[in-house]
Chain A
Amino acid sequence: MTAPITLQMVLLLGGYLALVWGLAQPMGRWLAAVADGAPTRLRRVEAGLFRLCGIDATREQGWRGYALSLLLFNALGVVAVYALQRLQAVLPLNPQALPAVAPDSALNTAISFVTNTNWQGYAGESTMSHLTQMLGLGVQNFLSAATGIAVAFALMRAFARQGTGTLGSFPVDVVRITLYVLLPLSFVLALVFAGQGVIQNFSPDVSARLIEPWLQADGSTLTTQTLPMGPVASQEAIKMLGTNGGGFMNANSSHPFENPTPWSNLLQMVVIFLIPAGLCVAFGRMVGDRRQGHALLAAMTLLFVIAVLGIMAFEQSGNPKLAALGADTAASALQPGGNMEGKEARFGIAASALFAAITTAASCGAVNAMHASLTPLAGGIAMLLMQLGEVVFGGVGSGLYGMLLFAVLAVFIAALMTGRSPEYLGKKIEPAEMKRVSIALLVTPLLVLIGTAIAVSTDAGRAGLLNPGAAGLSEVLYAFSSAANNNGSAFAGLSANTPFYNTALGIAMALGRFAVIVPVLALAGALAARKRTPRETVVGNAAALPTHGPLFIVLLVLTVLLVGALTYLPALALGPVVEHINMIH
């Protein structure tokens, strides 16, 4: 047996992290600048737009106003995406003449894309017209990402400001984030992807004559292959940049037209973490102490590296049952070996395992390998990354505000242990704050565990399972973990396009998004109103835990792991762990 961690894996992971940390610095500087108000040159451009929309850019909102604006804006998104799917048959840019999407699936998809989950119960290439993809799903790729970043901006301002009732203006934030961050970066990315071979056109499908006619099981001969077409590159760019993850094609980023080369793959992986990592840096800048941002980034990186190495090792070790049948699973100069079921030859084990960790650590949910066919414990780690609350880099915006919830919790626990009053970045943490943190942290575990319990104890829930036994439980647990944490990837064996799952997962996605955002904004409101304790007092307070040092980083990592482990270990033990024992015996 070869070593489960190859040299290629170590170098790929090291190079990848260097790229992410390096690019996070300029990204963070830019995000902080946008959060502080647009640079003067852009102010003139945006003034016209704001006048057009009737927005007074200088008027800020309190947390309730910010939340109300956000909810209304996202409700409009649900209505628009739902309507486009239901009406696509009579709208233009539908060269394949695709019919209207069924109501339950359409509503599920609308919620899914508005909540930045991008769970997909349907197969894109045979369900959505080009117009629905662009004007419905594509728009929400931008706007759901902008919404998440806006909430992070509001919370960052709450720490940076003091004695104020306002957090910024949601409409202004959304416009600036979209126009100054997401749009220009997506444009450049889309062109690079197109250069690598990602398609970008408005053509109907192309029929190709097969080189060798294929004799089918029923005796007939197949002579053609259908090649799907569409504006993929433009959507691919924002799909990654906004940690959306919803594929144009059913096979998502494993499809050669979405992710054609090892280089497009590397770029996709870097782009997923770009904004989540950049926001940590931006946070440090905004609170006037860059070490604070880097401490969060370090905690995320530590959790991430442990998870990646685990997934890589299990995937490279492969499935002993296949080796027993006569398959060669050893890595060599001529093949990656390992567990190649559900993987692409151009990505092999190293780049597939790394991608699987990235996409579940960030709440992206794009896949370049089929997660249902991961070895059981690798799949379990991917699941756990989501269940930790999508705070290991996490979604754009949601990763940072999720991690800040844990940071407040860690500070609170540390204060209980040392008998001092808790304080984070000079802000006193009192019952009002802790209540809001607790609500925000408890919403998703409740959704996941209750949802899974209902699904496995009803006929409608069990009807969708593909894999028998413990793997079946994993499918359901993965689905609810993915939906409630707004990830969107799947153990796709589950037939989730049924009224039961469309409804149950739709509820999980909506509450997992907005029942967290509202308490986070409420927390921001409380924090913004507080005075910052003068810095001298903080320094003089020798026993207060500095929140930029290694001790705090370890405490933060342990807090995240403790909450996640206590909540999910029993369920994981019944799913992936049982599956693993079945595999090796």
Chain B
Amino acid sequence: MHALLAHCRTALTVFLLLSVITGLAYPLVVTLAAQSLFASQTRGSLIHDRADDEGNVSGETVIGSSLIGQPFASPGHFWSRPSATAPMPYNGSASGGSNLGANNPQLLDAVRARIAALRAADPDNRAPVPVDLVTASASGLDPDISLAAAVYQSARVARARGIDITAVQTLIEQLAQRPWLGIVGEPRVNVVALNRALDAAR
């Protein structure tokens, strides 16, 4: 009995000590160090815009994060990947994927509808649709599309904006990210950055 009590006392003191070290001191020290080294990144890589909807400069408004995607539906913007978050796409409070299996009729219906929507917005484009543009991402917040998905949309975007397609393709090329040595990473472009660049060029 005495031995059991000693066991309990030791377990409790070790538990409390390590809890304070790993549960309080550790995250606090990491926060201090990380915020002094990487101020912007630790706070969410936020993008600020000085103008509000009416174009009035009114202090710093957060218009997103360079790491988090946003939904786009107008033909003059590049569309992001489908997002399965509920109740609305790109809901930052409820990240996640569709979790639909490969044979699920819901998945096949959704992909069919997405392909139809892309074709309706760009009837002349008969090319097969890059798969990432019609499948939901894992996080529901994917900031990127593949370069194939950007190229696929470039004619529609150029037409909607009344600009030359080469201007659109040049922007894609400027913002494109490619795998390091062909190994680490994928060919992709950040949709928020791409659409902001389009809007800025106007």
Q: Give the CA-CA distance A214 to B77 in the complex, in Å.
A: 12
Question: Which of A211, A256, A338 is the one whose CB lies under 8 Å from B67?
Answer: A256
Q: Given contacts A179-B21, A337-B131, are A214 and B102 in contact (CB under 8 A)?
A: no
Tally chain B residues at the interface, Cβ within 8 Å.
112
Q: How many Å from the CB of B145 to the closest CB on chain A?
A: 6
Interchain CB contact under 8 A, B27 and A139 = no
Interchain CB contact under 8 A, B10 and A53 = yes
Q: How many Å from the CB of A148 to the closest CB on chain B?
A: 15
Is B19 interfacial (CB 8 A cutoff)? Answer: yes
Is B70 interfacial (CB 8 A cutoff)? Answer: yes
Size category of the binding interface on chain A:
35 or more
Q: How many Å from the CB of B79 to the closest CB on chain A?
A: 10
Q: Give the CA-CA distance A343 to B17 in the complex, in Å.
A: 40
Q: Give the CA-CA distance A442 to B107 in the complex, in Å.
A: 38
Contacts of A135 in B (CB 8 A): 19, 23-24
B 26-69 to A, binary, CB cutoff 8 A, 1 in contact else 0: 11011101110110011111110100110000000111110111
Interchain CB contact under 8 A, A492 and B96 = yes
Is A233 interfacial (CB 8 A cutoff)? Answer: yes
Interchain CB contact under 8 A, B96 and A251 = yes
Residues 453-478 of A contacting B (Cβ, < 8 Å)? 466-469, 471, 474
Q: Given contacts A53-B14, A76-B11, A327-B131, are A344 and B139 in contact (CB under 8 A)?
A: yes
Contacts of B9 in A (CB 8 A): 54
CB nearest neighbor in A for B29: A187
Contacts of A372 in B (CB 8 A): 97, 99-101
Is B138 interfacial (CB 8 A cutoff)? Answer: yes
Q: Give the CA-CA distance A339 to B102 in the complex, in Å.
A: 9
Q: Given contacts A334-B147, A344-B139, are A143 and B18 in contact (CB under 8 A)?
A: yes
Question: Which of B38, B42, B89, B143 is the one whose CB lies under 8 Å from A256?
Answer: B143
How many residue pairs bridge A and B at CB < 8 Å? 406
Is A208 interfacial (CB 8 A cutoff)? Answer: yes
CB nearest neighbor in B for A494: B99
Is A373 interfacial (CB 8 A cutoff)? Answer: yes
Interchain CB contact under 8 A, B64 and A72 = no
A 483-506 to B, binary, CB cutoff 8 A, 1 in contact else 0: 000000001110000000000000
Contacts of B65 in A (CB 8 A): 208, 227, 256
Q: Give the CA-CA distance A195 to B45 in the complex, in Å.
A: 11
Contacts of B162 in A (CB 8 A): none
B 79-116 to A, binary, CB cutoff 8 A, 1 in contact else 0: 00100000011111111111111111101100110010
Q: Give the CA-CA distance A209 to B199 in the complex, in Å.
A: 16
Question: Which of A52, A80, A206, A369 is the one whose CB lies under 8 Å from B138?
Answer: A369
Q: Give the CA-CA distance A325 to B37 in the complex, in Å.
A: 48
Residue of B34, B128, B136 most packed against chain A (CB within 10 A): B34
Q: Give the CA-CA distance A338 to B132 in the complex, in Å.
A: 9
8 closest cross-chain pairs (CB), A and B: A254-B138, A251-B95, A335-B148, A262-B185, A370-B97, A348-B186, A471-B101, A194-B34
Q: 21 A–B contact pairs at CB < 8 A?
A: A53-B14, A53-B17, A65-B7, A72-B11, A76-B12, A138-B23, A143-B15, A171-B11, A182-B22, A190-B34, A194-B34, A199-B44, A200-B31, A256-B142, A262-B179, A327-B115, A337-B131, A343-B135, A346-B188, A373-B102, A376-B103
**B contacts, CB < 8 Å to A:** 4, 7-15, 17-19, 21-24, 26-27, 29-31, 33-35, 37-38, 41-47, 49, 52-53, 61-65, 67-74, 77, 81, 88-105, 107-108, 111-112, 115, 127-132, 134-149, 151, 179-188, 192, 195-196, 199
